[in-house]
């Protein structure tokens, strides 16, 4: 691939929107890689790696166990102060996207299509739009580094499997710690309409398996009905959800100001005339940053112990097991005041938002890296058919990153 430099004059006009052509070109290219989480992302990663290496930048990859997916971490070093090579600012994005199965698209989801003032394609806003803008910035950052004008390192972090539990980022963060790289800040470019999100909830997903005892439905006393006991526990989860929604330590700055519990799936039974011996259901817990899993686990486990005693009084080999399927930590704003002030100054907008959805931001804050979320597009368009990003949002993101780069350069 030929490397093109970032140039403010290299713009095109479409549907009355003037936009930087290179960012749109990069986004078109990225959408063309089918990086649905069940597939490999290596083709995209290798393309970005080649681009970075042509710029003279060293790329580090961390792989999953199967070696068919990789994270990419690349650093534009600080030419003005070599002692700060391991610090700096991270621009972070995930390369995987959600499936398009069962969705009706007006255009091919893995071919970027511009209609009106919007660019359509899977990942357009979630979150290849931000990655495209960050990649467009790299040549200019590399030039500043070579001339000694970059006083703070700039890092780009691309991860895999964010959409299926944020599985890739922890491997990359562990690698950075081993290499002694401790960035000062991180900006995760999830779609926020280029507003500043300073905190988000965590998420934990659980599977509950209720093991009963089969019997003919005319002889119910000889069985233990797994569905009936599952329904009692589901009812308790709903009751607990109502209770935690009325705690006195909820946070009104969140779009949903309390922690939530929600049952998502349930299945059980084989026939109407058989007392079911198995029922499974899943639920998720979206916690405010100051709350923990123990806040709901302790009462749920106590309820399970109560139901187990009832079930096992009828049949010893029955009972309920609770399995944790995934967990993503909340992102706090405890240590990001300095970063928030920088972003507010660059965007001329000091509004702080907190959101219910989870990102890799919590993993960065858990690693001791103050983090905010800010990226082009709306979360309302994510995961839907005809996902899009407005061209004006790409313009705003490019302008924001230009200002951010200038803040990293020697005045």
C-alpha separations of 301 from 261, 308, 314 in Å: 15, 10, 20
Q: Which domain holds residue 256?
A: 202-328
3-state secondary structure of 390: strand
Residue 113 falls inside a structural domain: yes
pLDDT tens-digit readout, 24-40: 999 999 999 999 999 99
Say whether both 105 and 218 belong to one domain.
no
3-state secondary structure of 226: helix
Q: How many domains does the chain have?
A: 2
Say whether both 235 and 309 belong to one domain.
yes
Helix (H) or strand (E) holding 233: helix 226-244
Say whether both 157 and 230 belong to one domain.
no
In the chain, the percentage of residues whose pLDDT exceeds 90 is 90
Say whether both 215 and 323 belong to one domain.
yes
Say whether both 273 and 342 belong to one domain.
no
Residues 6+ apart with CB under 8 A from 169: 71, 92, 94, 157, 159, 162, 360, 363, 364
In the chain, the percentage of residues whose pLDDT exceeds 70 is 93
Residue count (the chain):
411
DSSP string, 28-52: HHHHTS--BTTS--HHHHHHHHHHH
Say whether both 178 and 310 belong to one domain.
no
Say whether both 170 and 214 belong to one domain.
no
pLDDT tens-digit readout, 131-174: 999 999 999 999 999 999 999 999 999 999 999 999 999 999 99
Q: Which of 333, 247, 228, 361 is nearest to 296 (CA)?
A: 247
Say whether both 52 and 178 belong to one domain.
yes
What is the average per-residue pLDDT within 117-123?
96
The pLDDT value given to residue 200:
97
What the block records as the tokens of 108 is 């091919």
Cα–Cα distance, 156 to 336 (Å, whole number): 19
CATH of the domain at 263: 3.30.70.360
pLDDT band at 288 (very low <50, low <70, confident <90, very high): very high
The pLDDT value given to residue 227:
98
The pLDDT value given to residue 19:
64
Strands, DSSP E only, in 276-340?
278-287, 319-328
Say whether both 133 and 68 belong to one domain.
yes
Kindly list the strands in the beta sheet with 260-268, ordered across the sheet, starting from the edge strand earlier in the chain. Answer: 260-268, 278-287, 202-211, 319-328
Helix (H) or strand (E) holding 72: strand 70-76
Residue that terminates a domain, selected from 272, 304, 328 = 328
Question: Does position 9 have pLDDT exceeding 50, yes or no?
Answer: no
Residue 279 β-bridge partners = 210, 268
Say whether both 322 and 358 belong to one domain.
no
- Classify the C-alpha dihedral 19-387-329-331 as positive or negative: positive
Say whether both 30 and 155 belong to one domain.
yes
Q: Which of 209, 194, 167, 184 is nearest to 323 (CA)?
A: 209
Residue that terminates a domain, selected from 290, 310, 328 = 328
The pLDDT value given to residue 218:
96
Q: Phi and psi dihedrals of 254, rounded to 5?
A: -80, 145
Residue 318 falls inside a structural domain: yes
Residue 3 falls inside a structural domain: no
Say whether both 135 and 116 belong to one domain.
yes
Residue that terminates a domain, selected from 297, 328, 359 = 328
Q: Catalytic residues, which ones? A: 96, 162
């Amino acid at each position: 691939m030929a490397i093109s430099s970032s140039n403010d004059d290299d713009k095109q006009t479409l549907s009355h929107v003037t936009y930087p052509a290179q960012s749109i070109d990069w986004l078109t290219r990225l959408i063309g890689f089918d990086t649905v989480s069940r597939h490999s992302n290596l083709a995209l990663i290798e393309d970005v790696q080649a681009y970075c290496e042509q710029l003279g930048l060293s790329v580090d990859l961390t792989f999953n166990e199967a070696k068919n997916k990789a994270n990419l971490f690349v650093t534009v070093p600080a030419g003005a102060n070599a002692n700060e090579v391991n610090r700096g600012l991270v621009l972070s994005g995930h390369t995987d996207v959600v499936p398009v199965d069962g969705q009706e698209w007006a255009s091919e989801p893995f071919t970027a299509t511009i209609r009106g003032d919007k660019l359509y394609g899977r990942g357009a806003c979630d979150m290849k739009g931000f990655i495209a803008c960050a990649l467009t910035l790299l040549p200019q950052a590399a030039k500043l580094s070579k001339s000694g004008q970059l006083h703070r390192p700039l890092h780009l972090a691309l991860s895999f499997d964010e959409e299926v539990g944020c599985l890739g980022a922890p491997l990359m963060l562990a690698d950075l710690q081993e290499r002694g790289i401790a960035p000062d800040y991180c900006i995760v470019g999830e779609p926020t309409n280029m507003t500043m999100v300073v905190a988000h909830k965590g998420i934990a997903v659980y599977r509950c398996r209720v093991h009963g005892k089969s019997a003919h439905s005319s002889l119910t006393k000889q069985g233990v009905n797994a569905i009936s006991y599952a329904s009692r526990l589901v009812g308790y989860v709903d009751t607990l959800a109502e209770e935690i929604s009325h705690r006195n330590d909820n946070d009104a700055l969140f779009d949903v100001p309390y922690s939530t519990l929600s049952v998502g799936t349930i299945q059980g039974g084989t026939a109407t005339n058989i007392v079911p011996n198995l029922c499974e259901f899943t639920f998720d817990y979206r916690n405010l940053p100051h709350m923990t899993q123990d806040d709901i686990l302790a009462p749920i486990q106590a309820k399970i112990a109560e139901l187990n005693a009832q079930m096992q009084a009828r049949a010893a080999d029955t009972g309920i097991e609770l399995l944790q399927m995934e967990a993503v930590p909340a992102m706090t704003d405890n240590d990001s005041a300095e970063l928030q002030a920088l972003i507010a100054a660059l965007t001329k907008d000091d509004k702080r938002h907190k959101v219910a959805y989870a990102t890799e931001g919590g993993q960065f804050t858990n690693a001791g890296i103050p983090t905010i979320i800010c990226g082009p597009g709306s979360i309302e368009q994510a995961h839907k058919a005809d996902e899009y990003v407005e061209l004006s949002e790409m313009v705003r993101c490019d302008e924001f990153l230009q200002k951010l780069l200038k803040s990293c350069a020697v005045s």
